[in-house]
Amino acid sequence: MGNYRFILSGGGTGGHIYPAIAIANELKQRYPKAEFLFVGAKDKMEMEKVPQAGYKIQGLWISGLQRKLTLKNLMFPIKVISSLIRARKIVKQFMPDVAIGTGGFASGPLLKMAEKVGVPCVLQEQNSYAGITNKLLAGKAEAICVAYDGMERFFPKEKIVKTGNPIRSDLVNLKVGREKAVQFFDLDTSKKTILIIGGSLGARRINQLIEKELGFFEAQGVQLIWQCGKLYYDEYKKHDSESVKVLAFLNRMDCAYVAADIIISRAGAGSVSELCLAGKSVLFIPSPNVAEDHQTKNAEALVSKDAAILLKESELDEKFEAVFLEVMNSKKMQESLGNNIKKMAMPKATEHIVDEIEKLLK
């Protein structure tokens, strides 16, 4: 037994792709003989990231609706029909035992066609405000794995299972000590360390803020690990110094989280789940340019439990320094924020999601 076939789809952003890969890895561990096929959107990052993780992927000609009237929008119905036909063909050829969707454009046509030919489907929703694809698919799914409370606003209550979001295994058990973590970045172990993360591509507004506040940080005697993202690295690398480490990527997130005293971050679902495990004081600056403003809603879910602080981009110029100093100068506040966010961690999320998938295996 164990010769199962799993088809997975999720993409467009790392927030959809990495959970799908984590789920596949856990399934592979339990069923070494299983076969896997990913389905993504042709020109999106999953077409590169999934093969790097060792899995086969096929692409659909699909994209999202633009918010204004464009030629791309006029093509949208054609793309949907084309993707549904292609998805049906892929499903019929591969004949999976279970289909798993983690959100993103391609998972819509794929899971729609899987369900139509009688394949049981599992959805995984990372955000506190559900994405449109998962909302459309929810009616026919067998189980919907979520990371936040209150998701019955979007999904049938009886299908919801609170599992948390899949997390990279090296972050589930942070084994590195603080001294080693700080030394990894060539920083001073006696100074407070601020970690700035804006996602893999970077966050323009956060980078602008950090550049503007470099003198302020120096005056506080703190040092920075500044992940500015690959889109912005050439612009900001000139600020790299003994106490400011400017990086395009963070290859050792475990060291970054352990080294940090305070973290300034976007509020994408994957980052939020990792930060819960890290258990540090977090200042969230959500991106306002994402669907349904879901990053703000992700951050608010933590703020409501006194587990983080939220600063909107529009408030940064007037409020950032005062809010930062309030956290930095209060050991009590740092401990309280760190303890509260840690209570929200769900380190066994991937295993729980795969337990739900196992229930559907015939």
Beta bridge partners of 270: none
Residue with tokens 């200042």: 283
* Distance from C-alpha of 143 to C-alpha of 361, rounded to nearest angstrom: 13
CB 309 within 8 A of CB 303: yes
Question: Position 4: which residue type?
Answer: Y
Q: Tell whether 189 is in a known binding site.
A: no
Q: Tell whether 2 is in a known binding site.
A: no
Pull the structure tokens for residue 23: 């789920």
Question: Residues 150-160, buried b or exposed e (16+ Cβ, 10 A)?
Answer: ebeebbeeebb
* Distance from C-alpha of 13 to C-alpha of 103, rounded to nearest angstrom: 10
Q: Tell whether 298 is in a known binding site.
A: no
Task: Give, for 45, the enclosing helix (H) or strand (E).
Answer: none
Torsion, Cα 284 315 332 190, to 10 degrees, reads: 70
- Please choose, from the candidates 119, 159, 153, 118, the residue with its C-alpha nearest in 3D space to the C-alpha of residue 138: 159
Task: Give, for 125, the enclosing helix (H) or strand (E).
Answer: strand 121-125
Q: Tell whether 207 is in a known binding site.
A: no
Pull the structure tokens for residue 188: 């001073």
CB 202 within 8 A of CB 186: no
CB 38 within 8 A of CB 20: yes
Q: Tell whether 13 is in a known binding site.
A: yes
Using alpha carbons only, give the angle 307, 311, 315 rounded to the nearest 5 degrees: 160
In sequence order, the 6+-apart residues with CB closer than 8 A to the CB of 108 are 62, 83, 133, 136, 137
Per the document, the length of the chain is: 362
Inter-axis angle of helices 204-212 and 316-328, to 10 degrees? 70
* Distance from C-alpha of 345 to C-alpha of 276, rounded to nearest angstrom: 5
Q: Tell whether 127 is in a known binding site.
A: yes
Q: Tell whether 200 is in a known binding site.
A: yes
Number of C-alpha atoms within 13 angstroms, CB side, residue 199?
22
- Per the annotation, where are the binding residues? 13-15, 127, 168, 200, 295
Residues tagged in the binding site annotation for UDP-N-acetyl-alpha-D-glucosamine: 13-15, 127, 168, 200, 295
